[in-house]
Amino acid sequence: MQLRAIISVALVAAASAPAWADDAVDFTTVWYQEQRQGGQGGLTVVHPQLDIGADLGEKATLDIGYSADAVTGATATVYTVDAVSTATPFDDLRHEASLGLALHGKRSTFGIGGTAGMERDYLSLTISGSGSIDLPGRNTNIALSYTHNFDQTCDKDNADLGPLERRALTGFDACTKESYLVRGVDDATAMTVWHDLSIDTTQATVTQNLSPTSNVQLSLFGQVLNGFQSNPYRRVRVGPNEPQEHIPDIRARGAAAVRWNKFFPGVRGAVHASVRGYSDTWGVNGGTAELAWSQYAGSSLLLKVRARIHQQTPATFFKDAFFYETESAAGEYFTGDRELSPVRNIVVGGKMTLISVAEDDHEVWGLFDKLQLNLKADLYLLHELAADDPGANPAGRDRQFLSSGQALDAFVLGVGLLANY
């Protein structure tokens, strides 16, 4: 659970599995490095991923994949004003395998798939279905998808303890499917349990060609989560207590995005612009804007640069650490999750793609129809905003614009090789 909560969305986006119409092999490795603000430790994530696509005749394709996340770092286990003193090291390893089958018609595609993920304290099984169709004239494409997650999270067995009494997991709690005593210590507090979490996700996308060199895409996203969603390791100092964080079991969220692409034949370049709005039942509302430019240099080199800004409001039950300690929680729930806090993130980055295509029946490296080498880098500026009145906070840590004081908060480096054969 700890691993799943901290991995940046950037890793998922950088190494997401594609859907191919030809035989292909794609191997990608992504490295995410972050230095936490305020001296609260750092985070290193290495994400290798292998995807293989194969044609099954003329109308079907099979995709299989494997990925892993190796995480090391240090993070604050207690959300408090003095978070530096509670930073503890950790490491984790996650494995995930995927399988997908797609059927292709003249103007439509239908696919089913599933994934199975496993880490020490989190299990995930997903099933999904998707379909798309080109309307007559092939200028409009409509796509729909649905995914259901059967997830389980390990947690301390808190039985009937109240929110301010619940204990958090530690690195010494070896999670199994049955209650047991840790390291042979005869102590009932060492027992663990597993909680269910179901996730239903739907997405609809409409892509419309505006001209031979321009298109626009509208996406709608909806998701409902039902089950245990707290980080079982994180504690929050609420008054004199330091219980495990406590957040609602049900969360509904939705997002809408618009993306515009325009190619300029004269300069062999393209502009990409997108905006996205997000809202959920926990009170988090956010907006994201991104602008990018792709440029061909010669016949085999494609360069891309991008800039993105994201800002969001906090969950209704989120407070700055000082106010949890001095005013207690705002109701039943409390959390130290920065993903539920007010934040402003800026990302700038670029990607370089080297493309080699077989010519005159001479295959690339004697094996492939097409070969692509992808190199990617993103730089992150992560800023925390105050959730409460900064003027009433003498601790001085939670300010209206809290920066780490360093030029760079995090970066992502990725390298990938895609081979079509």
- For 180, the 3-state DSSP assignment is coil
pLDDT above 50 (res 44): yes
% of the chain residues with pLDDT over 70 = 85
* Residue 173, pLDDT score: 79
Query: Ramachandran region of residue 227, left (φ > 0), alpha (ψ -120 to 50) or beta?
Result: left
pLDDT, tens digit, 9 for 90 and up, residues 282-322: 999 999 999 999 999 988 999 999 999 999 999 999 998 88
Report how far Cα 169 is from the mean position of its chain's Cα atoms: 23
pLDDT above 60 (res 190): no
DSSP string, 70-117: EEEEEEESEESTTGGGGEEEEEEEEEEEEEEEEEE-SSEEEEEEEEEE
Q: What average pLDDT does the segment 372-381 reach?
A: 95
Closest CA to 419 of 66, 25, 52, 17: 25
Q: What average pLDDT does the segment 36-54 reach?
A: 82
* Residue 1, pLDDT score: 52
* Residue 368, pLDDT score: 78
Residue 354, H or E segment: strand 343-357
* Residue 275, pLDDT score: 98
Given the DSSP bridges, would you call strands 235-236 and 78-79 parallel, antiparallel or unpaired?
parallel
pLDDT, tens digit, 9 for 90 and up, residues 117-146: 999 899 999 999 999 999 998 899 999 999
pLDDT above 60 (res 12): no
pLDDT above 80 (res 405): no
The CATH number assigned to the domain with range 2-420 reads 2.40.160
* Residue 199, pLDDT score: 98
* Residue 78, pLDDT score: 87
% of the chain residues with pLDDT over 90 = 62
CB 349 within 8 A of CB 305: yes
- In terms of Cβ atoms closer than 10 Å to its own Cβ (0-12, 13-18, 19+), residue 28 is buried
Sorted by sequence, the CB contacts under 8 Å of residue 267 that are 6+ apart come out as: 295
* Residue 61, pLDDT score: 94
Q: What average pLDDT does the segment 48-66 reach?
A: 94
- For 182, the 3-state DSSP assignment is helix
Task: List the domain boundaries for the chain.
Answer: 2-420
* Residue 87, pLDDT score: 67
* Residue 43, pLDDT score: 87
Q: What average pLDDT does the segment 241-266 reach?
A: 96
Cα–Cα dist 284/317, whole Å:
10
